[in-house]
Structure 1
Amino acid sequence: MRAAPRWIACYAILGLVQSGMVPIILPLAAAPGPTSGFTYAAFAASGVAAPFVGAWSDRHRRHRATLVAGLILAALASFAHALPGDVSQHMLSAAAIGLGVSSASTVATMFIVEVEPQTQWDGLIGILQAFMSGGQLLGLLLAGVLGLRHTADALVLCGVLLLLAVPVALRYAPDPVVVVSRPELRPRPPRSGDAAAIGAQRQFHRITREAIAGLAHSGLAWFLGSWLLSYTATNGLSVMIAVVMVRSYGSDATLPTTAYAIGVGLSLLLYSRVASWDTRLGAWKVMRAGLAIRAVLVALMLALSFDRGSVVVLPLLACFAATQVVWPLLSVSSTALAVTLSPARRAESVGLLNASSSLGATVGGIAAGLLLSGGFALLCATVLGALLIALVLAYHPHVRLRAPQPA
């Protein structure tokens, strides 16, 4: 097996910050109340700009400069977010963090496909994803250790780590020498739980007016509607789980982040198996199974949420961890459906899927923070309702008539 290129260390740090620490720390650092999800929403929303940054990098051949600039911007914004300020100031700094890390992330694959032989693409992209996943797991654990009392220290640590990645990027990130069109790349499912759908593992693809206009005439619209609804709900739950455990149940932040990390770690063992299920049974069946299992788990969390005693903390976290274990069912099937439902425009359809994920994370953060002011049971009930509606959309007759299955 080939050794990992040294520049991949930058993306291990990005996975730690973007998918590990930030989704936990931003809500914890916010003032208690309905605004707790606003800063995370600003962080997620800024990722919409990343495809345009990636297109600029391709056009001007500035991939290494994009990586370095993204790292520096995210580091400075992390330091700024650690300072005292009101909600609007923290939303601005959170958006800058999101823009920086997502811009740096969007050129990751280019360092492989524009430099290395095509025969090594799959292996190197697998190594890249493994480093990002490992970074996320470490980031979740660090976020738990630092917890509610040390959120400013956690943000400073994020900034320091990002700055440490800058000399590595300058020294080892290659200057691309071959032009490879992004639409020609084979999409790969993001790994490492819900956060991966808007995190460093996402590969950006273009979005065109023709692709948007074509939604009205294909099963892709029903799929994206189901995905947007389910991802909005479950991502909001994932973002708020540490806030709930710390502020509603008096738990230490280490418990929810450890449960999150265990769920993500176990999910990494399922991807190859889920890919075989996807091929044998069809992507729609795999996606429906993922939605149904998550709905059952959230229903159990809803039943447990009516008991406010500490005795339900571990069962609640076990159910939450299980929602992350089944993430591969949704990750693999959603990427396959985005391609097979629009085979002539697979790049655009994957772009629409990524845009839906960014929109879902943004809305989910805001909605979860608002719902949480009415209690954890209200949040769980809303998430369960959204999953059930998403499951109904996935069974719509238009889907069955028009949706091809992956070969």
Structure 2
Amino acid sequence: MTPDSTVPDSATHPAHHDRLRVWRTALAAPGRYIRPWYGAYLLLGIVTAGMVPVLLPLMMVAISHQLSSVAYVMGVFDLGLLTSPLWGMFAERLKLYRSLFFLSFIIAAAAIGVFPLLHTMIGWMIAAFVLGAGSAGAGTLASLFIVDFAPQNEWEPRIGLLQSFNGAGQVVGLLLAAIFAHGQFDDGLWLAAVLLIPALMLGGIGLPIQRKARAADQHPHRMLDVRALAAFPHVNLPAGIGFHMNHFNLRGLRHLPDVIGTPFGRFILSWFMLALGVSGFFTYFPLMLEHGYGVNTHLTSSIYAVGAAIGITLFVLASRLATRFGSGKVYQFGLWLRLAGFVLLLLPYFMPVLPRLTLAIVGFFLIVIAWPLLSVAGTGLAARLATFSEGAAMGLFNASLALATVIGAFASGPIIAALGYRGLAWMGVIGLGLSIVTGLGLGRRQADAPQPAA
């Protein structure tokens, strides 16, 4: 058979036909897969993915009058997220799943509650790291309660529904943030801290108690079908990280030398440049849109909430598009869509007569809704192009995303000090442009190419 260099994913990977199988399974019998403690994850989404990303930067600038404080504090928050592998390691080795799950909510609530009482950079950075660590712990333990306790054939629908709870929480949290975004930052953050108290109570209902044995050679992260899981929304955190809790690990880093010069290596570089380019914007977006374009924070939160709500549906649509046209083409389309958003943010600086407010609203909306396309297609490409195990590939995939976001968050402070808000728009345009160039042709793969090891 003659190899076809343009064969779509559906032909080279039959698993792509099963992307929607998880949704059908979950929706056919939701009561079988939903547990009361999922409500704790919904509340976590309200707080860490909805309220905190909007209110925290606004509060810090209102107190310090220094934009650079946002970059450093949110960068430290991202560093706290990198503790995710430690939470998983301690939970599995010490069998302290429930204790660590509750502890993560407690320290996250405490960190949010003390933020309004702190007025120094050092204090904010410590609280931000603790908040990031608590958020990472809650998300990691939530996934482990499924993959370490539930039957393997129920992992995908359970994790899908769990992540959908978080996505719905983000929408609610953004709407709540809009209420407190006109100066009541302290009240909003204290409400966010209080919301994590019922999360503690909900988190104790229906949690598994008896740990089930698992064969020594079976690691749950390697056994998950990442292509099927890509159909679901992931946790969207303040600096723009799409945090895949169940796959975030560092063991894939040992394969880094092996991927240089390969299509997978080129994809990882493209993914890194994407995250690096947009990280500054997602660190400052409430302030940038308000002070740079006149979009008040109430409207910003509302637009983000609408985009996040639409995004839940777009994750399924993106799966259909990837199945029909291939993950490479969908990935490129998502990059161009996000690039168009950043170009619209740049235009008013070159053509002041253009309607700055309208361009900012449309640009922001395009940037937000592009994420489902990028997440689904990126996950599919990572699994499809890797020449080693999917678990290790996803570890490298997410590690590159997290590293780029941390670097970009810290770098955005000096950039905005030198160039103002337009510097963040340029950062997005340049990062996405490089991502598009390095990602060209990744959708073309020969039908008889070797498949990644299981």
Q: TM-score, normalised by structure 2?
A: 0.82
What is the CA-CA distance between 1:45 and the residue it aligns to?
A: 1.4
Look up the match of 2:30: 2
2:77 to 27, 40, 43: 43
Q: Aligned partners of 1:270 and 1:79: how far apart in 2?
A: 34
1:101 to 110, 122, 135: 135
What is the CA-CA distance between 1:207 and the residue it aligns to?
A: 2.5
Kept in 2, the 8 Å contact 1:274–1:329? The answer is yes
Residue 301 to residue 249, structure 1, CA distance change in 2 (3 Å)? closer
1:72 to 89, 95, 106: 106
SS in 1 for 2:90: helix
SS in 1 for 2:119: coil
Q: Aligned partners of 1:39 and 1:403: how far apart in 2?
A: 48
Task: Report the more deviating stretch, 87-96 or 145-154.
Answer: 145-154
Task: Report the more deviating stretch, 128-137 or 365-374.
Answer: 365-374
Q: Aligned partners of 1:50 and 1:74: how far apart in 2?
A: 14
Residue 346 to residue 192, structure 1, CA distance change in 2 (3 Å)? closer
1:203 correspondence with 2:246? yes
Q: Which runs of 5+ in 1 are unaligned?
A: none
CA-based RMSD: 2.9
Look up the match of 2:423: 378
Deviations along 1:76-122, whole A, 9 cap, x unmatched?
11122121321121011001000001111012222223333334333
Look up the match of 1:321: 365
Letter in 1 for 2:291: R
What is the CA-CA distance between 1:125 and the residue it aligns to?
A: 2.1
Q: TM-score, normalised by structure 1?
A: 0.90
Q: Aligned partners of 1:66 and 1:104: how far apart in 2?
A: 8
Q: Which runs of 5+ in 2 are unaligned?
A: 1-28
Kept in 2, the 8 Å contact 1:132–1:201? The answer is no
Q: Aligned partners of 2:94 and 2:166: how far apart in 1?
A: 26
Query: Highest CA radius of gyration, 1 or 2?
Result: 2
Look up the match of 2:222: 183
Q: Aligned partners of 2:142 and 2:339: how far apart in 1?
A: 34
Task: Report the more deviating stretch, 178-187 or 286-295.
Answer: 178-187
**What fraction of aligned residue pairs are identical, expressed as a percent?**
26
Equivalent residues in 2 for 1:52-67, closer than 5 Å: 52-67=86-101
Q: Aligned partners of 1:403 and 1:323: how far apart in 2?
A: 36
Q: Aligned partners of 1:59 and 1:2: how far apart in 2?
A: 31
Residue 86 to residue 258, structure 1, CA distance change in 2 (3 Å)? same
Equivalent residues in 2 for 1:265-304, closer than 5 Å: 265-304=309-348
Q: Aligned partners of 1:133 and 1:369: how far apart in 2?
A: 29
Kept in 1, the 8 Å contact 2:331–2:373? The answer is yes
Look up the match of 1:25: 55
Equivalent residues in 2 for 1:223-238, closer than 5 Å: 223-238=267-282
Letter in 1 for 2:369: V
Kept in 1, the 8 Å contact 2:243–2:398? The answer is no
Look up the match of 2:43: 13
1:254 to 298, 305, 317: 298
Q: Aligned partners of 2:46 and 2:450: how far apart in 1?
A: 35
Q: Aligned partners of 1:379 and 1:158: how far apart in 2?
A: 28
Residue 307 to residue 62, structure 1, CA distance change in 2 (3 Å)? farther
Deviations along 1:173-219, whole A, 9 cap, x unmatched?
22252245232222323626853974665323432353233232532
Look up the match of 2:177: 143
Task: Report the more deviating stretch, 291-300 or 340-349.
Answer: 340-349
Task: Report the more deviating stretch, 320-329 or 395-404.
Answer: 395-404
Aligned length: 407
